[in-house]
Structure 1
Amino acid sequence: MRILLIEDDAMLGDAVCAGLTQDGARVDWVRSLSDARLALVEHDYKAVLLDLGLPEGSGLKVLASMRARYDATPVLIITARDRLSERVAGLDAGADDYIVKPFQLDELQARLRAVLRRSSNTVVSAMRRGDVAIEPARQIVTRAGREVSLSAHEYRTLLALMERMGQTVSREQLEVAVYGGSGTIESNTVAVYVHQLRRKLGEGLIVTAHGVGYRIETGDTP
């Protein structure tokens, strides 16, 4: 089980990493917003432990970018901010739970197990278009019943289009879905992912809306 810890406090980070590693988890520890965004783009995690008070700004920015690109990875906020309004803001932004510092490691581990259980019990139906299906819960894409291998960026591009089937999704929206709106992105990056998806899933699946973006039409036959 791979966990992402986003925390700039060295002492707390060491303790959390040691405890979760002893529990059998693999922990990736980052200390900044930029490193967190990069880790989330490059890897898939079972859960994220997120501090709000980071050097570059609020950890809620990471949470917002995750949910904007349809990343449903469970997020447990760990923070010293204990006001009710702040807890509500974190949960409303898409966090699955909220624990206030200082805390006992046993409680953190129990809350983490709880959010993972809730996540595993959440069933998201497969979305289909013609003979192409995507299962967000398992992150699997099939064509005519056979699993198709996609890169993480191709998968996120397809998911963003399938989530808004029948609507035109702009290049900027797709960039947010894939990268979370961070970093400098080459102007043709989305077009490359769309080209690869067409090659793997059929030319007729994704329609180009010239000068606007891309869409997947509703209906049974691409």
Structure 2
Amino acid sequence: MTTRPTYLELADELAAELRDADVGTRAPSEHQLVASHGVSRITARAALQELELRYLVRRVRGAGTFVRRRIDYVIDKNLPPSFSATVAATGARPSSRLLRVIRRPPDPGSTYELEVADGGDIVEIRRITLVDDMPASVATLRLSGSRLPDIEEHLDDDVSVHALMVDVYGITLRRWRHHVSLDVPDADVASLLGDEAPRPCWYSESLNRIEGTTQLGEYSASWSHPQVIRNVFQIGDDE
């Protein structure tokens, strides 16, 4: 009979202990596991890696290992394409950190996608989004600048772009096209997501229309961490 590896037995024990722990609770470190369970450092590390593979914990570079629960990020044509609204609907707490806002001339692709008039510009927003203070995604949004005058004055950390568009500019977006794949980001994105090295993440691209029209109001591209986000697609016609 094959003996089960020690690291899996330890991982099972830790999983049972952490199952009812609050999100964000610090899990034992490798050093603590060596001292409390009499295992080697290699076994302790393998057990924590196994918990990470089961999406029970998240190991954050320089911070430690924390209890994690993935949220269901529902993608549905009848739901607004808002990160804040989608996360809040799960009972988790959304937040964001603004990295960059620039206005620039459109490239040919943006001119087509966002229907920017001659002489118009693109507002490009890059930010990190968080779920319960854990890095969840790195997103780049491109919007038609002529529709959003002075939007830079309203943007800040934790400001929902889509709520801002509704409240200040009277623009509501609806999902139109959405593409998701599993891919590996570059090292800069991986670092922003808290990983020591690039790991497979969800890569999403979206085109969203202005409600009640066929005009495209937003292009977005994002890298989402699979230990935080579980993409759920709801597909079908309304009955």
Q: Same fold judged by TM-score > 0.5?
A: no
Q: Taking structure 1 as the reference length, what is the TM-score of the superposition?
A: 0.22
More strand by share: 2
Larger RCO, structures 1/2 (Cα 8 Å, 6+ apart): 2
Name the structure with the higher helix share: 1
TM normalised by structure 2 equals: 0.21
Return the index of the structure with the highest Cα Rg. Answer: 2
